[in-house]
Amino acid sequence: MQAAPPADEQGFLALCRKIERERKFRCWNYKDTCLRRRISVRMRARGATSYAQYAGILDTDEKEYDRLVDALTINVSKFFRNPETFACIAAKVVPDLWAVASPLIRIWSAGCATGEEAYSLAVLCREYASANGDQATLDRLRIIGSDIDRESVAVASRGRYAAAAFSDTSPAVREKYFPLENGLYSVSPEIRNLVTFERRDLLDGDEPSGRLQMIVCRNVIIYFTRETQERLFDRFHDLLLPGGFLVLGKVETLLGKSRDMFAPVSSRERIFRRL
């Protein structure tokens, strides 16, 4: 079955309004094509032939509702995803963070899914502190991981992962910081203690309080409309301290006037510095 035909546009809009009202998921900020594709995948899975019929299924099946919201949020991640980006952060960003004089060094992994990105950043910082014999700076570090998806945040907080999550991680790093326990790799306390996880909706203006030295928001904004992306870049600019870093996903980039608000550190790795 293909996606429901355009003639069912009213049905599509009604379904989006329902999801927005009942699950507080702001459909209108997400790219239309992406929404339609993901909804039609779930409709196909349940054999629904119209949006109205699928809405009826959602009324009686909470699990299907959860699956739909899961499909809309796309919670895939892994440790050191795009390792070259993390190598660039280690070489060009972490040393600068260490030079920050303020009492706290605050990093936000926004849209962290199941936490791998936030923990990978913690590993980079831990490694830098060890190499420089500087535990004191590590004590000033606070990494906040947040995601709209409650279940992902719960997984992140548990910090236990299957081997597949480490396909981009060197075995030496995995062995050092993620000991194997009962068939899963557990985040060691020295890394776990550097990170806190929270449920936050980026589209709600729901941000960590206080200004930040770095925002890592990768493979999240790509699902948002252009207008929403531009609004978020504005917010990120406000939230970052001057000279603070912004890291986007490999297929994401600054748009509109935000291009004048940040300078590239590495265009290839999508790392920028707030002006």
Ligand X SMILES: C[S@@+](CC[C@H](N)C(=O)[O-])C[C@H]1O[C@@H](n2cnc3c(N)ncnc32)[C@H](O)[C@@H]1O
Q: Which residues of the chain form contacts with ligand X (CB under 6 A)?
A: 73-77, 81, 111-113, 117, 147-149, 152, 201-203, 218-220, 249
**Choice between 77 and 229, CB closer to ligand X:** 77
The least distance separating ligand X from the CB of residue 8, rounded to whole angstroms, comes to: 25
> How far apart are CB 187 and ligand X at their closest, in Å?
16
Residues 160 and 85: their CA atoms lie apart, in Å, by: 24
Give the nearer residue to ligand X in terms of CB position, either 100 or 202. Answer: 202
CB of 20 to ligand X, least distance (A): 12
Compare residues 117 and 269 and give the one whose CB is closer to ligand X. 117
Q: What's the min distance (Å) between Cβ of 81 and ligand X?
A: 5
CA distance 219 to 185: 24
Q: Write down the least CB distance from residue 149 to ligand X, Å.
A: 4
Sign of CA dihedral 175, 83, 34, 273: positive
Nearest to 253, CA basis, from 228, 271, 274: 271
Backbone angles phi, psi at 137, to 5 degrees: -70, -35
* C-beta of 40 vs 146, nearer to ligand X: 146
Nearest approach, Cβ of 112 to ligand X (angstroms)? 6
For ligand X, which is the closer residue by CB, 77 or 258? Answer: 77
Question: Shortest Cβ distance from residue 146 to ligand X (Å)?
Answer: 7
> Cβ distance 217 to 245 under 8 Å?
no
Of 28, 231, 200, nearest in space to 108 by CA: 200
Residues 189, 14: contact at Cβ < 8 Å? no
Of the pair 4, 35, the CB lying nearest ligand X is at: 35
